[in-house]
Structure 1
């Protein structure tokens, strides 16, 4: 299993990443919090990884911190939560916010994440609370990703990038486009647009 990867960032089309490791390009998927914390293209990056092996594919997921990876691994152990939904949860809010919602037993905020219905939200609250307590939720899970470089997405169209990320999170193209147009995007980074759009959805 691959637990860590270090190389040059070749593509960052959140949530899809491509990292060159001594001439071999590794395709990964990462939560938006990680994707927007990465440096510019061509720079060296190090990610904590989780590998999923299926009959039809070998999938690699990357995270800026061990805390994010720990939360991801905990989430996919919940019945009905796969890697795609776990990424959507991590992308939809900060890890500290998610942990707080679990402790507050607030399913209303969780159902705003695409793919999380009422039953899934209730299941998350019941099962995650015990798992977080066992992990010591005030520890590594609250570590935030690396601070983003100011020019990480200087060469990208922020609105288009935001729409693509929302679609990757499970929203329909029309929903994503409408949400982005409701946000005043002047001078905003892709990450800021996405977070504002998620609130508008």
Structure 2
């Protein structure tokens, strides 16, 4: 099991990352919260990781904090929730809001996340409620403050990056484009566009 990666950030096309570790490029999938918290391209980054082994591939997932990885590992233990959906949950909803939805037994808010239907939302509420006590209080699970993506790209790149990230999360291209067009304004970073678009969904 690969539990930690430290190396030079070569690409950050959320949710896909590429990190160089002594000449070896590791492709890593990360929630948007982690991707946004990373420094600029060329800087050294450290991520906590989880390796998912499938018959057809080994997929490495990276997280900025232990809490994110713990929640990810808890989610994938739930029936019907695989790594891809767990990543979408972490990306599509802030941890505090997710925990609040579980505690308040609010399936409607959970179904706004792509890939989470009514039955999955209800299963999440039932199974996660008991696991939250083991994970700690809601306050201890909050994500660390998010950083910003590199400001080197122009506004068109920010729009394209935001749309690509939403599509990678499971939103349909037309839905992603429509949501972005509603919220995007000049000067917004990719992170700001994505967060605003997710809230507008």
Deviation (angstroms), 1:141: 1.9
Residue in 1 that maps onto 2:83 = 83
Q: Distance in 1 between matches of 2:138 and 2:111?
A: 23
Per the TM alignment, residue 140 of structure 1 is displaced from its structure 2 partner at its CA by 4.1
TM-score, normalised relative to structure 1 = 0.94
Alpha-carbon distance, 1:95 to partner: 1.1
1:103 is matched with 103
Structure 1 unmatched runs, 5+: none
Separation of aligned partners in 2, 1:52 and 1:80: 15
The answer to whether the 8 A contact 2:162-2:191 is kept is yes
Alignment of 1:176-187 (within 5 A): 176-187=176-187
Q: Match of 1:11?
A: 11
Secondary structure of the equivalent of 2:52? Answer: strand
Would you say how many aligned residue pairs link Structure 1 and Structure 2?
199
Q: Determine if contact 2:51/2:60 at 8 Å carries over to the other structure.
A: yes
- Structure 1 CA distance, aligned partners of 2:96 and 2:70? 13
Partner of residue 122, structure 2: 122
Matches within 5 A, 1:18-97: 18-97=18-97
Quote the residue 1:167 is aligned against: 167
Shift of 1:130: 0.3
| 2:48/2:63 contact within 8 Å kept | yes
Look up the SS of the partner of 1:41 in the other structure.
Answer: coil
Task: Tell me, in whole angstroms, the C-alpha distance in 1 between the residues paired with 2:184 and 2:63.
Answer: 29
Deviation at 1:139, TM superposition (A): 5.8
Equivalent pair of 1:99/1:137 in contact (CA under 8 Å): no
Instruction: Kindly report structure 1 stretches of 4+ aligned residues shifted beyond 6 Å.
Output: none
Contact in 2 for aligned 1:70/1:141 (Cα 8 Å): no
Specify every segment of 5 or more residues in structure 2 that has no aligned partner in the other structure, as ranges. none
2:88–2:114 CA contact under 8 A, matched in 1: yes
Counterparts of 2:151 and 2:96 in 1: how far apart (Å)?
25
Q: 2:152 aligns with which of 154, 157, 162?
A: 154
Which residue matches 1:145? 144
How far apart are residue 112 of structure 1 and its match? 0.4
Q: Is residue 4–residue 46 contact of structure 1 (8 Å, CA) maintained in 2?
A: yes
TM-score (norm: length of structure 2):
0.94
Cα offset, 1:147, TM superposition: 4.0
